[in-house]
Amino acid sequence: MIQGLYAITPSGLEENDLLTKTEVLLKEGIKLIQYRDKILDKKTLQEKAHALLKLTKKYGAKLVINDHVEICLEISADGFHLGLEDYSSEGNVDLLKKNKEFISKNLICGLSCKWNKELVVNPPENEIKWTYLAVGSFYPSNTKSTIPETNESVKRKFLSYTDKPLVAIGGINKKNIGEVRSLGYSCFALSEALFKNPQHVLNEYKRL
């Protein structure tokens, strides 16, 4: 079940900081971590992803790899998350075709849909079935700075466009997560707001 807090790592964290803060989240019961780093080269990214995977397994949590299906498969991570452009890239399309049976049976597959109604209603599923769809940006966000926001009515309507779980993304923090929940969303992706002070944010979340 895709619900609750979904932790997405910010780009640029040193490995020790990344693992220490992630472990705080795991100790507090976070069950879904997405490793996302737009800065690193592939070799370093894979090394850090492997270290994260060992940590998540220790706590019985799941690790999703952003963008890189190949790394996900190579280290036996629990899933991957793609934007539409990443999904459509030649390299990923080939990997999905070759491994679609394994992926369909074993992996979490997430797709970023922004506020694209048609993509939510009819996501591309020629090769794989998406486990969840991510929609946003809900608020101004450094990680989703190019994705426009929309009004509350539209945010609420998106829940009626699909039976798949929808993950709310973009600028969500301890101050506004209650608003997102009141719209009907039950899974919330947090990145910078969570990793700056994970224990404090989790304590605030528990009070909601």
For the stretch 112-124, pLDDT in tens is 999 999 999 999 9
Question: In the structure, how many helices (H) and strands (E) does the chain have?
Answer: 11, 8
In the chain, % of residues over pLDDT 70 = 97
Which residues have CB under 8 Å from 47's CB, separation 6+? none
Q: What is the pLDDT of residue 208?
A: 73
DSSP E strands in the chain: the ranges are 4-8, 32-35, 62-66, 79-82, 108-112, 132-135, 166-168, 187-190
**Taking the domains of the chain in order of start, what are their residue ranges?**
4-207
- What's the pTM? 0.95
Predicted confidence band at 144 (pLDDT cuts at 50, 70, 90)? low
First-last CA distance in the chain: 21
Domain 4-207 matching CATH 1.10.730.10: the answer reads no
Which residues have CB under 8 Å from 164's CB, separation 6+? 123, 130, 131, 132, 133
